[in-house]
Amino acid sequence: MNALLELSEKTITLERNEFLKVKGSIDRNIYFIENGSLKLFVMDDLEEQIIRFGYKGNFIVAMDTFLSGQASDLYIQAIKKTTLKVINKTQFDVFIQEEVNRKLWMQILEDLVLQQLEREIDILTSSPKERYNRVLKRSPQLFQEIPNRYIANYLRMSPETLSRLKKS
């Protein structure tokens, strides 16, 4: 991971609620979160549907536009003031030419696919309590970094339901 971070020649800071990426834009960067937190979401009938979070020590990327170079429906927005290291696609493409780095990238992609699949299965088949418990087990830091209203959206439940689950 350190070798990947060394590719970054630029650091940016987003203020709370500032957008890193909006729908319809193309973004060919990977971002490493030095501090702060972000949410990645789509809009559905004027309502956010949060797909992912990123916080200190995480990478975040709009994977669809990063890989395809096409415009994306995704938004990435700062939840609080956030500092990011920027790694552009050109630098990244050179980086993964080395076998060891390509293997690292494949492992990252495999983990991402498995996480997304697990999340989709959770949302489609699990009760709110089961979703809460799995996320708590998988990502306990999430509950320290991200406000409850965003976690509730991510878990597809009301903030009141999340509050009840946390108390029980």
In a domain, 11, yes or no: yes
In a domain, 41, yes or no: yes
Q: Residues 19-71: pLDDT tens digits? A: 999 999 999 999 999 999 999 999 998 899 999 999 999 999 999 999 999 99
In a domain, 85, yes or no: yes
Asked if 60 contacts 76 with a C-beta cutoff of 8 angstroms, the reply is: yes
In a domain, 167, yes or no: no
Please, which residues have CB within 8 angstroms of residue 120's CB and are 6 or more apart in sequence?
Answer: none
Residue with tokens 């203020």: 15
Q: Which tokens go with 10? A: 């630029």
| 44: CATH | 2.60.120.10
Q: Residues 64-114: pLDDT tens digits? A: 999 999 999 999 999 999 999 999 999 999 999 999 999 988 998 898 899
State yes or no: pLDDT of 1 exceeds 80. no
At 10, which helix (H) or strand (E)?
strand 10-14
Rounded average pLDDT over 8-29:
96
- Report the SS3 class of residue 84: strand
Asked if 21 contacts 62 with a C-beta cutoff of 8 angstroms, the reply is: yes
Q: Which tokens go with 69? A: 């170079």
State yes or no: pLDDT of 6 exceeds 90. no
In a domain, 90, yes or no: yes
Rounded average pLDDT over 132-141:
89
- Report the SS3 class of residue 128: helix
CA distance 146 to 122: 20
State yes or no: pLDDT of 136 exceeds 70. yes
Q: Letter for the amino acid at 50?
A: I
In a domain, 157, yes or no: no
Tell me how many domains the chain contains.
Answer: 1
115 confidence band (pLDDT: 50, 70, 90): confident
In a domain, 89, yes or no: yes
In a domain, 109, yes or no: no
Q: What is the domain range of residue 59?
A: 2-95
